[in-house]
Amino acid sequence: MTVEPPVDLNTLPTAPGCYLYHDVDGTVIYVGKAKNLKRRVSSYFQRHDLDPKTEALVSHIASIQFIVTNNEVEALLLENNLIKRHWPKYNISLKDSKTYAYILRTDEEFPRFVVARDRDQPGTYFGPFTSGLERDYLLRALKHAFLIRSCRRLQKRACLRYHMQSCLGPCVGAISREEYAKQVCRAEAVLSGKGDDLIAALKEEMAARSEAEEFEQALVIRDQIQAIERLQEHQRVQRQKNYDEDVINYLVVDGTVYLALFNIYRGTLGQKEEYVFPFHQGFLDEFLVQYYADHPVPKEVLVPHEVDGSIAEFLGEMKGQKVGVTVPQRGDRKNLLDLVKTNIETQFFGDRIKVEELKKALHLPTSPGVIECFDISHLSGTAMVGVMVQFRDGRPDRKNYRKFRIRTVEGIDDFRAIAEVVRRRYSRLQREQKRMPDLIVVDGGKGQLHAAADELASLGLKVPLIALAKREEEVFMPGLSLPMPLDRRSKASLFLQQIRDETHRSAITYNRTLRRKKVVP
């Protein structure tokens, strides 16, 4: 069964984050997290083998909301928070108080770290942890960083974890009791919140090991330092506060204000609200008054710039106590403001931004509103085909995709195949006097680039042209001997990768279709 999605799936971001499904009454019926929001949400509406429960869920989805996060761990934490807040019908209901367990350092000769429901075992307890996801992530990270054993009983022979260098191997005497205890103490320091002191001590030990030319031990300590620093990376959606706060940011584009507000409850991101209205001077002051006249006033409101001093007095009157209206300049609060703006950009301007970023990165004379990308697919030189996909204003324009059976090439010759499809595509546009694209992309390296450039020159066309090589995501342009210095994680590079991947998918699909037709009698 397939159901028509309530949104254009191509408008969804490819960033990590959480998605919320609502029914016709606006009730949240499911909360999920994703490393790639577009790919994950699309899978619900494009698969034909959904289980009965998921089919029922999909049939009740009336609208979709998403919240972008900075990384997958933040998405995990946010998912947990949102589930606890909304208790969606189709999420798993946990009734065993799992999220309030402890981490126990066992009282053994070679101690372990385990999850404990009750404080009835000998050892040292850390917690309780109100987030089961955070607790489990921390436990795995500590075991991995300090190579703590996880087996319930010490075996008489080395286990797989020891051979994979994930355990110190006390079972086979690979480490003394004193050295193992040192690693356990380091893990306890992290759990006790003494990570900074531990990092300082480890850096001193690493320097001493290096000076003594004990480089292997120094590398182990370096890895431990990096692991502790990752653990200490403060999650912007799970900040420990004993009061509520709201975070407000906005963008003004073409005379319109796009504003988003995050409600933070006791340090936990609860929900996101979005507003669109015409721009006028003093709009933020007016919004604050109107919004908090009908909504609960938090103890603190974070805004991107100063507002009228009377606003804080008004909010204090509404709440019955002093309310802070703060403009953060650095740190976690500034990061929260930036996260709100990121969500605005993704929600309203994701396509426009990546197109403009590509223009800047490639130094193009105009914005590449229409991009056409070519790829060749074959199986050991057989069933060779070419495809062209078109992106218009940052989105795939499938009605303008084109497929080509290679006519003039025998055997394996991607360069001549690219030349053929480029020649056929743009000679036809010339004959029909249709608009040329703003940018042409070929999947490949310098060879494919030169083949396409020669064909464009023979047609008398001057259209910006690049080649994108798969292995290192390198971008080549005619006239440059070296690839362009493009950050692989930049919006421009990720956009090019999206275009290339869509072209590659289309080419493989067409190739398989032709081969299937040859096999079927």
Last residue of a domain, one of 52, 86, 120: 86
Q: What is the pLDDT of residue 268?
A: 60
Q: What is the pLDDT of residue 98?
A: 39
Taking only the tens place, the pLDDT of each residue in 47-63 is 777 777 788 889 899 99
* Averaged pLDDT, 420-442: 95
Q: What is the pLDDT of residue 238?
A: 47
* Averaged pLDDT, 238-245: 60
Neighbour tally for 65: CB within 10 Å: 17
pLDDT tier at 296 (50, 70, 90 boundaries)?
Answer: confident
* Averaged pLDDT, 368-395: 87
* Averaged pLDDT, 487-492: 84
Q: For the chain, how many structural domains are there in total?
A: 4
* Averaged pLDDT, 287-302: 88
Name the residue among 201, 265, 264, 189 with its Cα closest to residue 231: 189
Is 454's pLDDT higher than 90?
Answer: yes
Task: Indicate whether 275 and 329 sit together in one domain.
Answer: yes
The dihedral through the CA atoms of 494, 499, 502, 505 has a sign that is: negative
302, 310 contact by CB (below 8 A): no
What are the tokens at 228?
Answer: 């502790």
Q: What is the pLDDT of residue 285?
A: 87
pTM of the model: 0.50
Asked, for residue 180, whether it belongs to a domain, the answer is yes
| Mean residue pLDDT across the chain | 83
Is 447's pLDDT higher than 80?
Answer: yes
Name the residue among 434, 351, 359, 437 with its Cα closest to residue 393: 351
- Residue 468 and residue 462: Cα distance in Å, rounded? 19
First to last CA, the chain: 30
* Averaged pLDDT, 366-385: 85
Task: Indicate whether 214 and 256 sit together in one domain.
Answer: no
128 prior amide bond cis, ω within 30: yes
Task: Indicate whether 277 and 328 sit together in one domain.
Answer: yes
In b/e form, how buried is each residue of 42-54, taking b as 16+ CB within 10 angstroms?
Answer: eebbeeeebeeeb
Asked, for residue 362, whether it belongs to a domain, the answer is no
Q: What is the pLDDT of residue 94?
A: 43
Tell me the C-alpha to C-alpha distance, in Å, between residue 181 and each of 103, 193, 455.
Answer: 17, 19, 69
Q: What is the CATH number of the domain that holds 460?
A: 3.30.420.340
Tell me the C-alpha to C-alpha distance, in Å, between residue 292 and each of 286, 393, 452.
Answer: 10, 37, 59
Task: Compare 513 and 471 and report the one with higher pLDDT.
Answer: 513
Is 269's pLDDT higher than 70?
Answer: no
Q: What is the CATH number of the domain that holds 22?
A: 3.40.1440.10
* Averaged pLDDT, 477-491: 86
Last residue of a domain, one of 63, 86, 109: 86
Q: What is the pLDDT of residue 270?
A: 63
Asked, for residue 237, whether it belongs to a domain, the answer is no
Last residue of a domain, one of 56, 86, 116: 86
pLDDT tier at 420 (50, 70, 90 boundaries)?
Answer: very high
Task: Indicate whether 479 and 389 sit together in one domain.
Answer: yes
In b/e form, how buried is each residue of 142-176, taking b as 16+ CB within 10 angstroms?
Answer: bbebbbbbeeeeeeeeebebbeeeebbbbbeeebe
- Residue 469 and residue 466: Cα distance in Å, rounded? 10
Asked, for residue 468, whether it belongs to a domain, the answer is yes
- Residue 396 and residue 385: Cα distance in Å, rounded? 20
Asked, for residue 178, whether it belongs to a domain, the answer is yes
Name the residue among 459, 8, 432, 505 with its Cα closest to residue 440: 459
Q: Which of 45-59, 175-189, 235-249 has the highest mean pLDDT?
A: 175-189
248, 155 contact by CB (below 8 A): no
Task: Indicate whether 398 and 514 sit together in one domain.
Answer: yes
Task: Indicate whether 332 and 410 sit together in one domain.
Answer: no
pLDDT tier at 235 (50, 70, 90 boundaries)?
Answer: very low
- Residue 55 and residue 58: Cα distance in Å, rounded? 5
Q: What is the pLDDT of residue 131?
A: 56
The H-assigned helical ranges of 307-445 are 309-319, 331-362, 414-432
Is 400's pLDDT higher than 90?
Answer: yes
Residue type, 457: A
Q: How crowded is the C-beta side of 149, counted as CA atoms within 13 Å?
A: 25
Q: What is the pLDDT of residue 359?
A: 93
Task: Indicate whether 168 and 42 sit together in one domain.
Answer: no
Tell me the C-alpha to C-alpha distance, in Å, between residue 77 and each of 12, 21, 84, 135.
Answer: 21, 18, 11, 11
Q: What is the pLDDT of residue 517?
A: 67
Task: Compare 227 and 54 and report the one with higher pLDDT.
Answer: 54
Task: Indicate whether 47 and 69 sit together in one domain.
Answer: yes
Is 136's pLDDT higher than 90?
Answer: no
Name the residue among 467, 393, 494 with its Cα closest to residue 437: 393
Which helix (H) or strand (E) covers residue 218, if one does? helix 215-232
Q: What is the pLDDT of residue 241?
A: 55
Helices then strands (H, E): number in the chain? 14, 18
- Residue 7 and residue 4: Cα distance in Å, rounded? 9
* Averaged pLDDT, 163-171: 77
Residues in Cβ contact with 260 at an 8 Å cutoff, skipping those fewer than 6 apart: 248, 249, 250, 272, 273, 274, 275, 340, 341, 343, 344, 347
Asked, for residue 359, whether it belongs to a domain, the answer is no
* Averaged pLDDT, 88-109: 67
Taking only the tens place, the pLDDT of each residue in 14-42 is 888 899 999 988 899 998 888 889 999 99
Asked, for residue 267, whether it belongs to a domain, the answer is yes
Residues in Cβ contact with 390 at an 8 Å cutoff, skipping those fewer than 6 apart: 370, 371, 372, 373, 396, 397, 400, 401, 437
What are the tokens at 119?
Answer: 């404080």
Residue type, 234: H
Task: Indicate whether 269 and 290 sit together in one domain.
Answer: yes
Q: What is the CATH number of the domain that holds 278?
A: 3.30.420.10
The H-assigned helical ranges of 103-194 are 132-146, 160-163, 177-191
Containing structural domain, residue 112:
98-232
pLDDT tier at 391 (50, 70, 90 boundaries)?
Answer: very high
Asked, for residue 15, whether it belongs to a domain, the answer is yes
230, 141 contact by CB (below 8 A): yes
285, 297 contact by CB (below 8 A): no
Task: Indicate whether 200 and 265 sit together in one domain.
Answer: no
Taking only the tens place, the pLDDT of each residue in 331-350 is 878 888 988 998 888 878 87
Q: What is the pLDDT of residue 1?
A: 53
Name the residue among 465, 473, 463 with its Cα closest to residue 498: 473
DSSP 67: E
Q: What is the pLDDT of residue 132?
A: 62
- For the chain, percent of residues with pLDDT exceeding 70: 89
What are the φ and ψ backbone dihedral angles of 500, each rounded to 5 degrees?
-60, -45
Task: Indicate whether 295 and 435 sit together in one domain.
Answer: no
In b/e form, how buried is each residue of 410-421, taking b as 16+ CB within 10 angstroms?
Answer: eeebbbebbbbb
Is 96's pLDDT higher than 50?
Answer: no
Q: What is the pLDDT of residue 127?
A: 66
Task: Indicate whether 66 and 114 sit together in one domain.
Answer: no
What are the tokens at 500?
Answer: 């290339």
Lateral strand order in the sheet of 245-253: 268-278, 256-265, 245-253, 300-302, 324-326
Is 330's pLDDT higher than 90?
Answer: no
